[in-house]
Amino acid sequence: MTGIAEKLASNQKQVAISEFFEKNKHFLGFDSLARSLITAVKEAVDNALDACEEARILPTISVAIEKLDVKKDIVKLIVEDNGPGIPQKSIEKVFGQLLFGSRFHAIRQSRGQQGIGITGVVMYCQLTTGRTTHVRSKIAGEPTAAVVDIGLDTRKNKATKANQGREMWYNADGSSKEHGTEVTAQLKAKYQKGRQSVWQYLRMTSIVNPHAEITFTDPDGEVHHWPRVTERLPTKVEAIKPHPHGIELGQLQRMTSESTDSRLTVFLRMNFSGVSARASKELCVAADVDEKTKPKSMNADQIRALLEAFQGERLANGKPVKLLNPPTNCLSPIEELLIKKGLSKTIDSRFIATLTRAPEVTQGNPYQVEVGLIFGGNMPADKPVEILRFANRVPLMYQQGGCLLTKAIESVDWRQYGLDQPGAKGVPKGPAAILIHLASTNVQFTSEAKEALADNAEVIEEARKAMLEMGRGLRKHLEKKKKMAKTKEKFELINDILPAIAKKSADILGKPVPDLSGSITQIMSAVISETETVWNKETKQTDVAITLFNYTTRVRAYTILATWPEKSGATMINNDTGGRKEATGVWAWKLESLQPGEKTVISYSLGDLERGDWTETDIFFRGSQDVIGASKMDEKFLEEIRRLERVLTDDSSEDEDEDEFEPIESIGEPAVAPPNGQTTLFGGEA
């Protein structure tokens, strides 16, 4: 028996990580020919976007696919970017060594962390075609580009190099390439069209990366171009320290053993986020460990007790230790305006709603949910809505049914918001597309292929809240559209029939045509709001005009409220009618009197925006009489905005009193303009 045991033990060998993935390539997304091509494009494009953003360069990326051998399904993939380039000595590690990267230990939002992606592509190319991957890279200031053919020694997890050298690199127009990286790979893959295709992946990428310009040349030679729609790069993220709520026992043991701090309180303050001086002392009390203890000298029982104090299982002064939330500057959301611009450039529609929720924390990890809904246009009404899933700005193309983000969408009863959903279960049907994006420092995927998110009750609930809020906006839009259509039909009918009757009667009786404004006002019996939001080419500003028509027999008084993109850095100018700020992104004007048959115009301009940033303005009102074309202000919604302001700014100051408004007097012009369509909360006509 001893001999058998020794023989079995002698057969055991350590497996290199690259050799493991070589035999299990499906873990990395190379499980079918079609998906393998998408995965290769994804890894190259993600690297390009990351490199450009870290260097604060607006990305310009080109992707080209050629069919080399149709029968054997061999294709050539070329991906070029304008990033900062890679130093020649680092190319072999970036492309030829698995688990080599700079983001694994950094707690911040990023597209990739493990350092597997692009090396996995090199490995797959070598495995399926036997060919190396050609890399060309140039750094600004260097006269020539470094070139090398990279392979992978899977036994040693080490790059193999061939044909290394330097060469001139020219752009298509003949000018010298300033900086960038180009990857040329030959792999066994199949190009296909449809929802799970390279085209769809790049289309989705352009939506959540509106600052990027992407050009795709497909195997048929057709060129697809997604231009950048903003010059603003994503907010630069900062790495944060781990939070006690997200620490595991083994991790805490390693941190204490490696610590050089002289006392435990210093260790807690310097190595964790959310731990104040007070909290560090209370954690020591809860764990029953002297605060002067050196972390390195702590035994297993003390470390476990400290972890239990982290988790609130051990109390200090009879209650769990209160910890601050981790900072949220480690996140970089897309933001509402840019989601809207990204959706608008790829999907034709009549209505777009977008929403960025405030940052939250789950298990010590900050995260943020963003959603978008685009409705109408030429989208099919009898098919399931298109779901666009993203994690840290990366499209999720597969495993839709098993993804947390899909489950959040399915948890909403979309029937009450105007979409078809039999039994209130599953993906709704209708002419719509729903976008959902999770930005997080620690995205939990269901597999190494990173195509679906694992269940997390807190994240699902946060996404569900975002969906409900967005759904309410769609419902208001549809209700307002229906009401405005009826009002417009009635208005046009009255303006056609009454003047004709009056003229005929006047001709028969030989009398002048009577003034019908009073009669039309009595018949219409409505207050109508009409809003115009247009880009002014001369001033480079967005001009907004809100017009209220009083088609009733009584004097009316209102508070009119309008949304504006304050969070996106816009400034309100030429606001001669005054008013005041009600909350972030909401401005209000008090209208003392609107006479029967008259109108009032509120006008202003928005500065510090680009063309297309703000195309529709949502209008709300306070008052007893409904306003067609505006929504009754939901005071709970307004208070929620204020609450979030206080949370984010730590400012609990009282709101101003109502009487601090600058009232607007009616300008006394007759109400003659017909009503038009309006926008809704968080959205607008596209």
pLDDT, position 678: 36
Query: What is the arithmetic mean of pLDDT over 301-305?
Result: 93
Name which of 59-73, 125-139, 400-414, 478-492 the model is least confident about: 478-492
Alpha helices in 193-240 (DSSP H): 198-208
* Cα–Cα distance, 186 to 72 (Å, whole number): 12
Pick the CATH number of 336-475 from 3.30.230.10, 2.40.30.170, 3.40.50.2300, 3.40.50.170: 3.30.230.10
Q: What is the mean pLDDT of residues 571-582?
A: 91
Determine the 3-state secondary structure of 101 from DSSP.
coil
pLDDT interval class at 148 (50, 70, 90): very high
For residues 227-266, one letter each, b for 16 or more C-beta atoms within 10 angstroms of the residue's C-beta and e for the rest, the string is: ebbbebbbeebeebebbbbbbeeeebeebbeebebeebbb
At residue 24 the predicted structure's pLDDT band, cuts being 50, 70 and 90, is: low
Look at residue 673 and give its three-state secondary structure. coil
Check pLDDT > 80 for residue 209: yes
What residue ranges of the chain are covered by domains with CATH 1.10.8.50? 244-310
Distance between alpha carbon 43 and the CA centroid of its chain, in Å? 20
Average pLDDT, the chain: 84
Residue 586: φ, ψ to 5° = -135, 120
Give CA–CA dist 471/518, Å, rounded. 40
Q: What's the pLDDT at 406?
A: 94
- At 292 the pLDDT is 92
Order of strands, edge to edge, in the sheet holding 158-167? Answer: 158-167, 145-153, 133-138, 180-188, 74-81, 60-69, 213-217, 223-226
The predicted model gives 575-583 an average pLDDT of: 90
Higher pLDDT, 136 or 30: 136
Region 1-25: what's the mean pLDDT?
58
In this prediction, residue 459 carries a pLDDT of 93
From the list 69, 93, 75, the residue with the least C-alpha distance to 148 is: 93
Q: Name the pLDDT band for 670 (thresholds 50, 70, 90).
A: low
Q: Range with the lowest mean pLDDT among 444-448, 620-624, 678-682?
A: 678-682
Which amino acid is it at 375?
F
**By three-state DSSP, how is residue 77 classified?**
strand
| Residue, of 331 and 597, whose pLDDT is higher | 331
CATH 3.90.550.10 at 17-226, yes or no = no
Between 211 and 113, the more confident residue is 211
pLDDT at res. 12: 57
Average pLDDT on 579-596 reads 90
pLDDT band at 257 (very low <50, low <70, confident <90, very high): very high
Work out the average pLDDT over 109-134. 79
Q: What is the pLDDT of residues 412-446, one digit of tens each?
A: 999 988 899 988 888 999 999 999 999 998 888 88
Token match 């000298």: residue? Answer: 297
Segments of the chain assigned to CATH 2.60.40.2960: 515-684
Q: What is the pLDDT of residue 677?
A: 39
The architecture (CATH level 2) of 244-310 comes to Orthogonal Bundle (1.10)
> Which carries the bigger pLDDT value, residue 154 or residue 34?
34
Residue 135: band (very low, low, confident or very high) from pLDDT cuts 50, 70, 90? very high
Q: What's 114-179 look like in SS3?
A: CCCHHHHHHHHHHHHHCCCEEEEEECCCCCCEEEEEEEEECCCCEEEEEEEEEECCECCCCCECCC
pLDDT at 214: 96
pLDDT at 193: 86
At 548, give phi and psi (nearest 5°): -110, 130
pLDDT of residue 651: 43
pLDDT band at 31 (very low <50, low <70, confident <90, very high): confident
> Rounded to whole angstroms, how far apart are CA atoms 156 and 19?
8
- For residues 673 and 629, which has the higher predicted lDDT (pLDDT)? 629
pLDDT of 18 > 70? The answer is no
CATH number for the region 515-684 comes to 2.60.40.2960
At 522, the pLDDT band (50, 70, 90 cuts) reads low
Domain with CATH 3.30.230.10 in the chain: 336-475
pLDDT score at 543: 95
**What pLDDT score does 676 carry?**
46
HSE, CB side, 13 Å, CA atoms: give it for residue 456.
Answer: 20
**pLDDT over 90, % of the chain:** 40
Of residues 512 and 14, more confidently modeled: 512
Helix axes 88-96 and 117-129, enclosed angle (nearest 10)? 70
Residues 272-285 have a mean pLDDT of 92
Residue type, 222: E
Residue 197 has pLDDT above 60, yes or no: yes
Residues 70-75, mean pLDDT to the nearest whole number: 91
Length of the chain: 686
Q: What is the pLDDT of residues 333-353, one digit of tens each?
A: 988 888 888 887 777 666 788
Are residues 292 and 268 in contact, defined by beta-carbon separation less than 8 angstroms? no
Alpha-carbon gap, residue 51 to 82, rounded angstroms:
9
- Cα gap 53→183, rounded to integer Å: 19
Find out whether 357 and 461 touch, Cβ atoms under 8 Å: no
